[in-house]
A and B are shown apart, each in its own frame.
Chain A
Amino acid sequence: MMYRDSERHKLFNRRTAILAGGKAVLLSALVGRMYYLQVIEADRYRTLADENRINLRLLAPLRGRVVDRFGVAIADNQKNYRAILISENTRDLDYTLNMLDQIIPISPTERKRIIRDVKRFRNFVPVMVRQNLNWEEVSQIEVNAPDLPGIFIDVGQSRNYLYGRDLAHILGYVAAVSPGEAEGDPLLELPGFRIGKAGVEKVYDVALRGSSGSSQVEVNAFGRMIRELNRREGQPGAEVMLTIDLGLQRMVSKRLADESAASVVIDIQTGDVLAMASTPGFDPNAFTRGLKSSEWQALISNPKSPLTNKAVAGRYSPGSTFKMAVLLAALDKGVISPTAKIFCKGYLELGNAKFHCWKKHGHGNVDSKSAITQSCDVYFYEIAKRTGIDRIAEMAKRLGFGTKLGIDLPGERAGLVPNKRWKRGALDAPWHQGETLIAGIGQGYLLATPLQLAVMTARLVNGGVAVTPRLTRALAGVDADNGAENKSGFESLNLPKAHLDLVTEAMSDVVNSRRGTARKSKIVDPNFAMGGKTGTVQVRRISKAERDTGVVKNKDLPWKFRDHALFVGFAPVDKPTYAVAVVVEHGGGGSSVAAPIARDILTEAQLRRSARAANIVSRDDTSPPSSDKPSGEG
C-alpha cells in the first residue's frame, strides 16, 4: 500500500511540476503583455489618457470698449445675470420650474426648450433658463433659493450700449454668429459668442474681439470638470476711440427725433465726424439680447428703414445745396464773372421746354452772390448751360461727390455724379442739354449722401482742402490717421481763394442777410453765426396743370410725396470750424425744416466748444448731458 501510494506520489510530483511550468508560462505571458502595453505602447496610451481627461475650453475675451473723442464710454460690457438650472440638484424638475415660474414667468415653449436641454445633456451640465435678469429678479431668486433647488444665478458679460438709439448707426450691434461666418477663429464657435454685425462693431470687429484665452481642465469620464490644470487669460479687445463728441451726438439724435432724417457734423480741418445720426434708429441692446421675430419684422418692414445708416448709405438729390459746386465750376471755366447779372423772369426756356424757378414771378437781376443767397434757379440753369455737364461733374468730384469718401463704416455709398460718358455707358443714351440745366439745380441723376454734403461744405470753407472724414480717432491707444490731424495732410483742391471767399460770403448771406432763404434760422449771437445753403428736392413731377392752378402744399400731400428738406451749413462764419449737413426725407422745405435743425446743431457744437475752452479741467462730458431741448428752437 505504501509502495503504491509513493508511486502515485511520484506521478503527482511529476505532473505537478509540468502544471507549475504551464502556469509559469502563462504568468510570463502576462508579463510580456504588460511589457507590450506599458513599455512599447506606453507613449500611445499616455496620449490617449490625456485626451481622455484633458479638455481645452476657450475663454471668451472681454470685448473692447468704444469711447467718444473725450474718452467717455459709449459701448462697454455689462454683467449679464443669468438663471441656470443644474438638473442633478433638483429633486423634481417640474416642481423647480413651477416655483421659478412664480418669479419669472416661463412660457410653455421656453419650458419645453428647458426640458429638452435637460434631457439632452448630462445632469450636471448647466442649462440656460433665462438671460439678462434684472436686479429685482436676481434678488427674488436668491431669496427664494431654498424653494428653487437646482436654480443658480450665473454672471456673464454682454455688450451694453450706454446710449442706445443715439449711436445705433455708428456703433452698429453685435449678434450671434451666423452659420456661414464661423470661419477660422475658434472663438466664433463658442456658444453665445457675439460678433459685430453693423457699424463700428463690424468694421473693427476683429480688434474689438480680442484673442481668446484657454483653460485646460481635467474632466472625468462623464465630462464633469474636476480641476483646472492650466489657464491662459485671453487678450481683451482693443479700445476704439471715435471722433464722435458724445454730447453733440446725443443732441443731434434727439433733434432729428422720429423724422426719417440724417445729419452729419464734421470738423472742417481734420474731417473728424463729431456727430452722425440717422433716424429713426433702433435699440442695439435689443440685438445683444436677441430680437424676437416680431421685432425684427417691424424693423425691416418700416418704410423709414431704421436699420439703414442714411448718413452714409442714403442717396439724395442734393438740390440747391449743389449750387455752390455749379457756381465754382462756372467761375473756374470763366463763363461768368462774379458780378455779372442774369435776369430771372421765373423761368428759362430751352427749345420748347420751360425750366421754372422756385419763385413763380422771378428774382429779377441776380449776380452770383444773390443767386446763392436767394437760391435763384434760373441763374443756375443759365450758368450750367454755359459750363456744360462735364465741367460741373469734374467740380462735383473735386468737392467729394460721386466717390466713397472712405469713412470707416460699412455700407457707405458713392452716390452719383453724371456726365456724358456715364450716360452713354449706363443708359446708352446721349446727354441732353436740359439735363445739364436740371443738374445745375442739383437734381436729375445727381445723388449724394449726407456725409458727402457735409464734406463738400467743409471743403468749401476750409480753404479748399480735400478733407476726408474719419470716425476713429484712435485704436488701442494708437492714433488713427486719415492723413489729417494737420491739414497739410490733405491735398489742395486748387480753387482760387477769391472764388471760395465769394461762396463762403454768399452762404453766410443765405442765413444772415434779409433776403436769404434761411434768414429765419439765423443764429443771433454774432460769435456763433452760421452760414449755409438750403435745398428742397421734389420727389414727384409737378404737372403743368398743377403749376397753373398752384402747386399743392407739402402738408397736403401724403408723406412719401412730400419734398426732401436739405441744409448744409458751417459755423462760425468768421472762422469756420464745423460743417453740417441735414437731410429730412419728405420733411418739406429746406429753409423751414432742415435749416432750424442745422442751426440748433451748430449752436450746440459751438456752445460745447466754448464751454470746454472756459473750463478745460473739469469736463462736463463725463456725464451725459440731459438737455434734450436745444436752445432757440423756432
Chain B
Amino acid sequence: MSFDILNEPDLSLGRKFLHIHWFFVLLLCLTAGIGVAMLYSAANGNLQPWASRHAIRFAVGLVVMIVVALIDIRIWLRHAYTLYAVTLVLLVLVEVSGTIGMGAQRWISLGYFNLQPSEMMKISLVLALARYFHGGSIEDIGRPTYLLTPLLMIAMPCALVLRQPDLGTTLMLVMASGAIFFVAGVRMWKFAVVMLTGLVAMPLGWQFMHEYQKQRVLTFLNPESDPLNTGYHIIQSKIALGSGGLMGKGFMQGTQGHLRFLPEMQTDFIFTMLAEEFGMIGGIGLLSLYGLILVYGVILSQRCNNQFGRLLGIGVTTTFFLYVFINIAMVMGLIPVVGVPLPLISYGGTAMLTLLIGFGLLMSVWVHRDVTIGRRGGEEV
C-alpha cells in the first residue's frame, strides 16, 4: 500500500483517460495506417471500396476501445461469467439457426452489423478463464480436479465453433486458453500430458474433419499436388511474396496481387501483398511493429497488481499474437490455410472490433493496474 492511488477505487474518468498508455495506442494507429495504405494499393490506388471503410472502422473501434478501457476492471471481473454465458448461448443460437438455415452460418444479423459469436468468444473465454484463475491459489492450481472446470469452459465453445466449422478460431481459442493456463501456473508436465493426448487423438480428429478441412491439411502438406484448386492460394501467395525479394516492387507496383493471381488479397492474404510491394524489409518492419505491441502487452500485464488483470492482459496479447502468427505463417506456407486475418490490416470489421475490445481490456488492466482485488472478487484491504 505504498502507492497513493492503490486504494483509490474511484479514479475520475479524466485521470483514467490520462492513464491510458497513449504510446501503445499510437502503435495500434500506425499498424492500422499500414492497413489503410495496403488496402488503398489493393484497390489499385482507390480509397474505395476498402481503405476508407477500414479507416472508419478503426476510428469507431478506437472509441469503443477507450470506452472499454475506462470501465473499471472490477466491473469486467464481475460480469466475466455472464458475458461468457451470453456468448455461449449466442453460439448455440448460431448453431441452431445455421442448421435450420443454409449450412455454415457463423453470425447473427443485427441489421447494420453481423454479430459473430465465435469472434466474441475469443474475448469472453479469456475473461472467464482470467476470472476463474484469479480465484485460485497456487495450491488450487496444483490440483488436477481444479482444472476440470476451466477445461469444460474451453471445450464447450470449441466444440460449437468447430462444428460451424471454423478450425482457425477453434485453434485460437485453445491456444489462447493454453497460454492462460500456462501463465496461471499450471504444471509443465500437465501440458506435456495434454499434448501427448492430442497427438494420439489426432487420427481420431481427422475422422471428424470436414472434407474441405482435410483438403486444406493435405494441400498444406503438398501444395503442388493440386495447383489449380486448393493449392492455388498457397502457391500464388509464395510466388507473390518471393518475387517481392528483399526490397519489394514498390508501393502499388506489386503485380501478382493487382493482377488477381493472389486470392483474397484484401483480407487473409494482405501480408503477401505487403511483402510483395515492400519486400522482406517491409515484412520485417511490420513484424517489428507487431513485436513491439506484443512486448508492451507483456509489460503492461506484468505491471498489474491483480491476477485477473494480468491473466486478462496476457490472454488478449496472446490472442493478438495468434492472429499475427497464424496469418503470416499461413500465407508463407508454413501452416495450412485456416482463414485468420492479419490484425488491424486485413479488411474486415469483426476481427477489428474483437481486437480493439481486447486492447480496450488491456488498457483497462493498465489504467487499473494498482487496484487490488480479493480472490472472491471483493476489494483487498
Contacts and interface: CB of A to CB of B under 8 A. Distances in A.
Nearest to B313: A16
The A interface, classified by DSSP as helix, strand, loop or mixed, is helix
Given A15-B183, A27-B291, A218-B255, A5 B243 contact: no
Nearest to B284: A31
B301 interface: yes
Interface in B239-265: 239-246, 255-256, 258-261
Contacts of B294: 20, 23
Nearest to A219: B259
B283 to A, nearest CB: 5
Interface in A200-239: 218-222, 226
Interface string B326-344: 0011001110000000000
Interface in A1-47: 1-2, 4-5, 7-9, 11-13, 15-16, 18-20, 23-24, 26-27, 29-31, 33-35, 37-39, 41-42, 44-46
Interface in A113-162: none
Contacts of A42: 242-246
Interface residues of A, number: 44
B307 A27 contact: no
Contacts of B179: 19
Contacts of A19: 179, 182-183, 314, 318
A16 B183 contact: yes
Interface residues of B, number: 55
A16 B303 CA distance: 12
A48 interface: yes
A29 B334 contact: yes
B256 A16 contact: no
Given A16-B301, A16-B314, A37-B332, A52 B239 contact: yes
A49 interface: yes
Contact of B307 (A5, A30, A219): A5
B259 A221 contact: yes
A52 B259 contact: yes
A197 interface: no
Contact of B280 (A1, A7, A29, A35): A35
A304 interface: no
Contacts of A82: none
B260 A222 contact: yes
Contacts of A218: 255, 259
B50 interface: no
B275 A5 contact: no
B177 interface: no
Interface in B263-300: 275, 279-280, 283-284, 287, 290-291, 294-295, 298
A12 B302 contact: yes
Given A30-B329, A35-B280, A8 B259 contact: no
A2 B370 CA distance: 13
A11 B310 contact: no
Nearest to B244: A38
Given A42-B243, A48-B239, A12 B321 contact: no
Given A23-B294, A34-B332, A49-B255, A41 B380 contact: no
A359 interface: no
Contacts of B284: 31, 34
Contact of A52 (B261, B302, B334): B261
A53 interface: yes
B193 interface: no
A33 B234 CA distance: 14
A45 B334 contact: no
Contact of B245 (A9, A39, A50, A226): A39
A606 B274 CA distance: 81
Given A12-B302, A38-B245, A52-B256, A4 B380 contact: no
A11 B241 contact: no
Given A16-B301, A42-B245, A4 B138 contact: yes
A53 B332 contact: no
A31 B243 contact: no
Given A53-B256, A219-B259, A220-B261, A38 B137 contact: no
B241 A39 contact: no
A34 B255 contact: no
Contacts of A20: 294-295, 298
Contacts of B305: 5, 9
Given A38-B275, A222-B260, A9 B242 contact: no
B164 interface: no
Nearest to A222: B260
B256 A5 contact: no
B256 A49 contact: yes
Contact of A37 (B241, B324, B329): B241
B374 interface: yes
A53 B302 CA distance: 50
Contact of B185 (A12, A29, A30): A12
A1 B302 contact: no
B280 A15 contact: no
B4 to A, nearest CB: 17
Contacts of B334: 29-30, 33
Contacts of B182: 15, 18-19
Contacts of B310: 9, 12
Considering residues A13, A30, A222, which has the most beta carbons from chain B within 10 angstroms of its beta carbon?
A30
Contacts of B374: 1
Interface in B52-94: none
Contact of B259 (A9, A44, A226): A226
Nearest to A47: B243
A34 B243 contact: no
B238 interface: yes
Nearest to B325: A26
A38 B307 contact: no
A218 B374 CA distance: 66
A34 B302 contact: no
A53 B261 contact: yes
B238 A37 contact: yes
Contacts of A53: 255-256, 259, 261
B219 interface: no
B98 to A, nearest CB: 32
B372 interface: yes
B23 to A, nearest CB: 19
Nearest to A6: B305
B307 A221 contact: no
A223 to B, nearest CB: 10
A2 B245 CA distance: 54
A450 B372 CA distance: 119
B242 A41 contact: yes
Interface string B307-320: 10011001000100
B372 A5 contact: yes
Given A4-B138, A8-B185, A38-B283, A220 B259 contact: yes
Given A45-B238, A220-B260, A222-B260, A38 B279 contact: yes
A375 B374 CA distance: 141
Considering residues B183, B240, B258, B372, which has the most beta carbons from chain A within 10 angstroms of its beta carbon?
B183
Contacts of A220: 258-261
Contact of A27 (B184, B260, B325): B325
Contacts of A7: 138
B259 A11 contact: no
A53 B276 CA distance: 15
26 contacts: A1-B374, A2-B380, A5-B372, A8-B137, A9-B310, A11-B138, A12-B183, A12-B185, A12-B302, A12-B314, A15-B182, A15-B183, A16-B301, A20-B295, A26-B325, A27-B291, A29-B334, A37-B242, A38-B245, A38-B279, A45-B238, A49-B240, A52-B239, A52-B261, A219-B259, A221-B261
9 shortest interchain CB distances as A-B pairs: A45-B242, A49-B243, A220-B259, A38-B280, A42-B245, A221-B260, A15-B183, A37-B242, A221-B261
Given A27-B324, A38-B280, 15 more contacts: A2-B372, A12-B185, A12-B302, A12-B310, A19-B318, A24-B291, A26-B325, A30-B287, A38-B241, A38-B244, A48-B243, A49-B243, A52-B256, A219-B259, A221-B259
